[in-house]
Amino acid sequence: AKASGSNNFRFYAKEMNAELGHRLSLENDLWHALENQQLVLHYQPQVCMRNSQIIGMEALIRWQHPKLGMIPPLQFIPLSEDDGLIVPIGIWVMETAAHQNRQLQLAGYPPIRVAVNLSVRQLEQKDLVHCIEKTLQHSGLDPQCLELEITESMLMHNIEESIITLNRISDLGVQLSLDDFGTGYSSLSYLKRLPINRLKIDKSFINDITTTYNDAIIARSIIALAHSLEIQVIAEGVESADQYAFLLENGCDEVQGYLLSRPRPFEEMEALLRDGG
């Protein structure tokens, strides 16, 4: 028993070292990923429920690692938040998304929004608003066509500061949406103080919307609450026609999810606009 115990320990120690080594080497590689153009944006369309038109797209980052292949954001964004690398990465995301959206307009497609995810580290940067202004200048994009997605929990780090920053962003004409709505701290009391254009009902509520009474009630209540505050509602993670029908019937404004399209590379996003338009 003693021998196997020590073997187990060695086994786990080895596993832990492998994991730590993996993390360190990823973190190291990430520094080079930006300059070596290994980061790419995929885009997932957002569709208006009233007329079935694509009215926006969410930019979702991926890392094309030379040895490990395509790495999803949840495997490296948290690393980049620890060491502050999220700040330059975040600027790159915003600049690229704005530039590519402008490219679509220059190619003749009707204007749509591009939504960019912000991290809490970016929200805390003193020059965030300045960076947004520069992005708008560089790209020539109409501010209405840029949207920033924030979460409730990000705001709760420093709610008063956050409200000031969000108001300055909103004053630029840039749109704001509250992502993963319903999963974080309940900030219902702050909702009317936030210059938010749009709430995103989290996928976890959408999953069982047609089979679980409570989730249906929650989704309906979120839509009613948002509309009473003149805030639009978008549902994320919509995968089935039944979910779509429920949301349509209950007055949801927009949808996003695998039912309509997975996130896709820019060229494929353009093809989707071409075929849909």
* Interface with ligand C2E (CB under 6 A): 44, 60-61, 72-74, 77, 93, 117, 119, 179-180, 237-239, 257-258, 263
128 binds, among ligand C2E, Ca ion, none (CB under 5 to 8 A by kind): none
Closest CA to 199 of 247, 132, 157, 260: 247
45 binds, among Ca ion, ligand C2E, none (CB under 5 to 8 A by kind): none
Residue tagged 């970016």 (tokens): 122
- Return the number of the residue (17 or 99) whose C-beta is nearest ligand C2E: 99
Which among Ca ion, ligand C2E, none contacts residue 91 (Cβ within 5 to 8 A by kind)?
A: none
Are 26 and 79 spatial neighbours (Cβ–Cβ below 8 Å)? Answer: yes
Whichever of 29 and 147 has its CB closer to Ca ion, that residue is: 147
Nearer to ligand C2E, 6 or 153 (CB): 153
The amino acid at 137? Q
Least distance (Å) from ligand C2E to the CB of residue 257?
A: 3
**Binding flag, residue 180, Ca ion (CB under 5 A):** yes
DSSP H or E segment with residue 130? helix 128-139
Q: If you count them, how many residues does the chain have?
A: 277
Which secondary structure element, helix H or strand E, spans residue 12, and what is its range? helix 2-35
Does residue 192 contact residue 215 with C-beta atoms inside 8 Å? Answer: no
- Residue choice 80, 96, 101, 117 for contact with Ca ion (CB under 5 A): 117
Using rule CB under 5 A, residue 215 touches Ca ion: no
Distance between CA atoms of 171 and 165, rounded to whole angstroms?
10
Please report how close the Cβ of residue 184 comes to ligand C2E at its closest, in angstroms: 12
Q: CB of residue 53 vs Ca ion: minimum separation in angstroms? A: 21
| CA 247/CA 192 separation, integer angstroms | 23
The site map against Ca ion for 121-160 (x = CB under 5 A) is: ----------------------------x-----------
Q: Please report the beta strands in the chain, taking only residues with DSSP state E, as ranges in sequence order.
A: 39-48, 54-65, 69-71, 113-117, 146-151, 175-181, 198-201, 232-235, 254-255, 264-265
Q: How far is the CB of 41 from Ca ion (least distance, A)?
A: 13
Q: Is 254 in the site for Ca ion (CB under 5 A)?
A: no
> What single letter denotes the amino acid at residue 274?
R
* List of residues contacting Ca ion (CB under 5 A): 117, 149, 179-180
